Amino acid sequence: MIQDLFNNEIVAWQLSKRNDVQLVLDTVEQWTKKETFRKPCSIRSRASNTRLEAFGVKGSHSRKATCLDNASIESFFSHLKTEKLYLNQCNSEVEIRQAVEDYMYN
Protein backbone atom coordinates (compact mmCIF):
# COMPACT_ATOMS: atom_id res chain seq x y z
CA MET A 1 0.00 0.00 0.00
CA ILE A 2 1.02 3.57 -0.61
CA GLN A 3 -0.33 6.06 1.88
CA ASP A 4 -0.62 9.80 1.33
CA LEU A 5 0.63 11.26 4.61
CA PHE A 6 -1.16 14.55 3.93
CA ASN A 7 -4.57 13.00 4.64
CA ASN A 8 -3.68 9.34 5.45
CA GLU A 9 -5.52 8.15 2.33
CA ILE A 10 -4.40 4.87 0.77
CA VAL A 11 -3.68 5.97 -2.80
CA ALA A 12 -2.65 2.61 -4.23
CA TRP A 13 -2.59 -1.00 -3.11
CA GLN A 14 -2.06 -4.46 -4.51
CA LEU A 15 -2.34 -8.01 -3.24
CA SER A 16 0.22 -10.67 -4.00
CA LYS A 17 1.21 -14.11 -2.78
CA ARG A 18 4.77 -12.78 -2.50
CA ASN A 19 6.13 -9.71 -0.75
CA ASP A 20 8.70 -8.87 -3.40
CA VAL A 21 9.94 -6.06 -5.63
CA GLN A 22 7.34 -6.88 -8.31
CA LEU A 23 4.58 -6.19 -5.79
CA VAL A 24 6.15 -2.79 -5.07
CA LEU A 25 6.54 -1.99 -8.77
CA ASP A 26 2.93 -2.97 -9.51
CA THR A 27 1.71 -0.74 -6.67
CA VAL A 28 3.86 2.18 -7.85
CA GLU A 29 2.53 1.73 -11.38
CA GLN A 30 -1.07 1.78 -10.13
CA TRP A 31 -0.34 4.93 -8.11
CA THR A 32 1.39 6.84 -10.91
CA LYS A 33 -1.51 6.20 -13.31
CA LYS A 34 -3.95 8.04 -11.06
CA GLU A 35 -4.90 11.62 -11.84
CA THR A 36 -4.33 12.52 -8.19
CA PHE A 37 -0.70 11.35 -8.34
CA ARG A 38 1.23 13.27 -5.65
CA LYS A 39 4.74 13.22 -4.29
CA PRO A 40 6.50 12.04 -2.05
CA CYS A 41 5.87 8.48 -0.92
CA SER A 42 7.54 5.80 1.19
CA ILE A 43 9.01 3.00 -0.91
CA ARG A 44 12.35 1.24 -0.99
CA SER A 45 14.32 -0.98 -3.36
CA ARG A 46 16.67 -0.18 -6.21
CA ALA A 47 14.15 -1.15 -8.88
CA SER A 48 11.37 0.88 -7.33
CA ASN A 49 13.70 3.86 -6.77
CA THR A 50 14.61 3.77 -10.45
CA ARG A 51 10.92 3.69 -11.38
CA LEU A 52 10.14 6.56 -9.01
CA GLU A 53 12.99 8.69 -10.35
CA ALA A 54 11.43 8.40 -13.80
CA PHE A 55 8.38 10.19 -12.35
CA GLY A 56 10.49 12.75 -10.49
CA VAL A 57 9.64 11.23 -7.11
CA LYS A 58 12.08 10.74 -4.27
CA GLY A 59 11.11 7.83 -2.02
CA SER A 60 11.54 8.06 1.72
CA HIS A 61 13.18 5.19 3.52
CA SER A 62 12.98 3.77 6.99
CA ARG A 63 15.66 1.83 8.75
CA LYS A 64 15.44 -1.95 8.51
CA ALA A 65 13.23 -3.53 11.22
CA THR A 66 12.24 -0.15 12.64
CA CYS A 67 8.46 -0.06 12.53
CA LEU A 68 8.32 3.35 14.23
CA ASP A 69 9.78 4.88 11.06
CA ASN A 70 6.58 3.77 9.28
CA ALA A 71 4.18 4.41 12.16
CA SER A 72 1.39 5.74 9.96
CA ILE A 73 1.11 2.73 7.64
CA GLU A 74 1.86 0.29 10.49
CA SER A 75 -1.07 1.80 12.37
CA PHE A 76 -3.29 1.42 9.30
CA PHE A 77 -2.37 -2.27 8.97
CA SER A 78 -2.99 -2.84 12.68
CA HIS A 79 -6.48 -1.35 12.41
CA LEU A 80 -7.22 -3.21 9.17
CA LYS A 81 -6.32 -6.53 10.79
CA THR A 82 -8.11 -6.05 14.10
CA GLU A 83 -11.21 -4.29 12.75
CA LYS A 84 -11.75 -6.36 9.59
CA LEU A 85 -9.47 -9.26 8.72
CA TYR A 86 -9.39 -11.03 12.10
CA LEU A 87 -13.20 -10.80 12.30
CA ASN A 88 -13.81 -12.30 8.84
CA GLN A 89 -12.91 -15.80 7.75
CA CYS A 90 -11.48 -15.08 4.29
CA ASN A 91 -10.92 -18.28 2.32
CA SER A 92 -9.72 -16.88 -0.98
CA GLU A 93 -7.86 -13.97 -2.50
CA VAL A 94 -11.18 -12.63 -3.79
CA GLU A 95 -12.62 -12.58 -0.25
CA ILE A 96 -9.50 -10.90 1.13
CA ARG A 97 -9.60 -8.26 -1.61
CA GLN A 98 -13.30 -7.63 -0.90
CA ALA A 99 -12.66 -7.33 2.86
CA VAL A 100 -9.86 -4.79 2.29
CA GLU A 101 -12.00 -2.78 -0.15
CA ASP A 102 -14.93 -2.83 2.30
CA TYR A 103 -12.68 -1.57 5.09
CA MET A 104 -11.12 1.22 3.07
CA TYR A 105 -14.11 2.46 1.11
CA ASN A 106 -17.09 1.88 3.42
Domain boundaries defined on the chain: 1-61, 64-106
pLDDT tens readout for residues 28-65: 888 888 755 555 555 455 666 677 777 666 665 566 76
pLDDT tens readout for residues 5-17: 778 888 889 999 9
What ranges make up the beta strands (E) of 30-96? 41-42, 59-60
* Burial class of residue 52, CB neighbours in 10 A (0-12, 13-18, 19+): buried
Helix (H) or strand (E) holding 8: none
Q: What is the pTM of this model?
A: 0.67
d(CA 48, CA 22): 9
Beta bridge partners of 41: 59
d(CA 79, CA 59): 25
**pLDDT value, residue 80:** 94
